[in-house]
Chain A
Amino acid sequence: MTMPSEINPSQPAPLAPQPVAATRILLIEDDSKIAQEVVEELESRGFHVQHEESGAAGLSMGLNAHFDVMVVDRMLPELDGLTLIETLRERKVHVPVLVLSALSAVDDRVSGLKAGGDDYLTKPFAMEELAARLEALLRRPDNSRQTMLRAGPLEMDLIERTVTRAGVPIDLLPREFRLLEYLMRRPNQVLTRNMLLEDVWNYRFIPQTNLVDVHIGKLRRKIDESGKPALIQSIRGAGFMLRVP
């Protein structure tokens, strides 16, 4: 499931952003196998991971120490994940939380997000997916009310719904515009195919075909300039990234 992130030597390891001060992650998960795998994976990416096995221990840890992001399993002994998150939110702990659950339904996801979770991932998941989502939570997108987005040579006018590259207008379909806006709000960040499907198209299933790749391919052909490096780069085994110098 995991793979070395330095497959392509021309790219610096994209999934390990080398946090300035080690990012602290609280993992509350009772399945020791999954926990061990997650801890090893995240630590190899330079995160500092604190692992708790029960809901009660996780809650007291979450209330008493500072973490940058939490990963909480839904089904926990003593105190279930959703109650834990609700309690954290009641005590004004606003650390972003990613909820983990067994393969399950949409209503589960909805209740997970309602309880105060920020993202939701069903088991089994790829480590790249988890890492990308954690990074997305750590680097909250720029959702301020600005009307212009800039990424490298790209400029997006959110009111006029226009995009220019180095001043040259690019004609985009509405769906391409939505996709590019999502990417431009998250520059230099790995975005998995599932994240794109969920957030841009609002779909929660894994299509049989490489749908997202086709959409990205179409967008690339419109925004890239020949002879210059591609703005949207494929991250092998993980997803895509809008690389801005």
Chain B
Amino acid sequence: MARGSCCVFRNELFRTATFRLTLAVVAAMIGSAALQFFFGYSQASVFEARRSDMLLLREASILQRETPQELEQQVRDRATDDLRILLNVTTLFDSQQHYIVGDLHNWPADLVADGHVHVITPEATGGGSSTVLRMVAVKVPGERYLVLGRSRHMRTELRLMMRHSMLVSIVPTVLFALMTGIVLSHRALSRVKDMHEAIDRIMEGDLHERLPAGKQNDDLQRLAGSVNRMLDRLEQLLDEIRDVGNDIAHDLRTPLARVRARLDRALNADHSAEALRNVISHTIDDLDQSFAIITALLRIGEIENGRRRAGFGTVDLESLVADIIDLYEPIAETKGIALSHVTGDDPPIHVLGDRDLLIEVLANLVDNAIKFTPEGGRVEIRTRMNDGCAMLQIADTGIGIPAGERRAVTGRFYRSDKSRHIPGSGLGLSLVSAILALHHARLDILQSRVHDSLPGATMNIVFPPSGVVQPGN
């Protein structure tokens, strides 16, 4: 088990980004050493060639000044003494390029006696030497030719030396880099391992767990920071959902508890048909309230998850408002509330949307406005254009929404303390928010200006310019 996990760990090591980076760096090091060798060698060999040429020409000019006898003697000596290391070929030929004395027996085919240095390949030397030679042939007194040559053995030696030194230096460098890489990867891996363990704990349900925060301010740490912030947000959302769950349970429990208590009483008390009918009728009302809550929740879920825009088309706001007034006028009348449509001078406004859903939005908002407006009040629906945005406002002279509660009212089950006594699922505005989000529209809650004496609310729906259908399109 221990060995197994050790092997796994080693495999993981080779898979870490740090180690892979190390490998890439090592490859680059080897490459750069090779390049260094190549350029250094070629530079040195150019230098060596130039030095050889200078040496050959200088020697030739010195030997040219000798008398024929002395020269012949010198050539004979040179063929055997230590100077051969510097000049590998020293030979005298007669005017017919026939051998007189020296260590080269045949006149090289490519050699021209022009006093310039020539590079002679081994075949051209007639098999006398197996290496490439730099040669110069000059006329010397007595109608003879003096041929001096220098092999490239220095260059070969140089190459061997440089290759050797490169190998000697690169091996420890690479080993050192690899070791550094392994150590660094190991450290990175152990941090990643810590993070993995933290994530495992989170997945097991410990939502308060966070990724370890190190001291380094590197990319891994910044990533851990982002993940931690994401976890904070998720935890907050989960808390909200838990709260909503509690709210749902509470709102469902209330009518059900009433049903139970009423049925309990009915069981023990007066059994007259009239009384029982009364009990049943109230029971149905309470159950209907529970159903309304469940239906509204399902509907919100459907709209939020569905993202369906299949039912979208051009919707005429004027006719939408006319329809909603037709639907709600009787109920407004019974409460003595004036429900009216106020239009500006704008031409008819058309928006892109799902008519059925938009009617539902308006119905909810108008329903609320009527519900929260005292008798004798007014509810006005206004449509107008503003900065390319289409605005649909529902203004009332009701109790209004305190500035501090305006954000919260669109949350699920939010009911202002002032309105606890007014029946409703408490889900209307979240449904409105969900539908408007589908339309990329916004809901602002403003203070009414219809009657300054009453702190009524104005629900302001703003369709962005992209959702407004221009006439003619």
Contacts and interface: CB of A to CB of B under 8 A. Distances in A.
Contacts of B424: 208
B356 A175 contact: no
Contacts of A175: 326
Interface string A26-67: 000000000000000000000000000000000000000000
Given A107-B308, A203-B359, A208 B425 contact: yes
Interface string A207-220: 11101001101100
B367 interface: yes
B367 A207 contact: yes
Given A3-B280, A104-B302, A204-B356, A214 B311 contact: no
Nearest to A219: B330
Contacts of A201: 323, 326-327
Interface string A181-209: 00000000000000000000101111111
Contact of A205 (B280, B284, B359, B370): B359
Given A103-B299, A175-B326, A208 B364 contact: yes
Interface string A113-127: 000000000001000
Contacts of A207: 363, 367
B295 interface: yes
Contact of A214 (B280, B291, B334, B360): B334
B327 A211 contact: yes
A45 to B, nearest CB: 18
A209 B363 CA distance: 10
Interface in B356-379: 356, 359-360, 363-364, 367, 370-371
B295 A206 contact: yes
A207 B428 CA distance: 10
B254 to A, nearest CB: 17
Given A103-B299, A237-B284, A7 B277 contact: yes
A116 B306 CA distance: 25
B310 interface: yes
Contact of A209 (B273, B308, B371): B371
Nearest to B276: A7
Contacts of A124: 291, 295
Contact of B292 (A104, A206, A214): A206
Contacts of B287: 1
Interface string B403-427: 0000000000000000000001100
B376 to A, nearest CB: 18
A232 to B, nearest CB: 14
A215 B330 contact: yes
B331 A105 contact: no
A236 B281 contact: yes
A166 interface: no
Nearest to B431: A205
Contacts of A7: 277, 280-281
Contacts of B103: none
A205 B281 CA distance: 24
A159 interface: no
A20 interface: no
A105 B308 contact: yes
Contacts of B360: 203, 205
B311 A107 contact: yes
A14 to B, nearest CB: 16
Contacts of A211: 327-328, 331
Contacts of A218: 330, 333
Nearest to B424: A208
Interface in B274-318: 277, 280-281, 284, 287, 291-292, 295, 298-299, 302, 306, 308, 310-311
A107 B367 contact: no
Contacts of A168: none
B354 interface: yes
Contact of B311 (A103, A105, A208, A236): A105
B425 A205 contact: no
A203 B311 contact: no
A106 B302 contact: no
Nearest to A8: B277
Interface in A142-175: 175
Contacts of B425: 208
B367 A208 contact: yes
Nearest to A178: B326
Contacts of A107: 308, 310-311
A213 B420 CA distance: 24
A182 to B, nearest CB: 15
Nearest to B354: A106
Nearest to A9: B273
B149 to A, nearest CB: 97
Contacts of A204: 356
B356 A103 contact: no
B272 to A, nearest CB: 13
Contacts of B334: 214, 217
A103 B301 CA distance: 10
A236 B284 CA distance: 10
Interface in A74-89: none
14 contacts: A7-B277, A8-B277, A9-B273, A103-B302, A105-B308, A201-B323, A201-B326, A205-B299, A207-B367, A214-B330, A217-B330, A217-B334, A236-B284, A237-B284
Interface of A: 1, 3, 7-9, 103-107, 124, 175, 201, 203-209, 211, 214-215, 217-218, 236-237
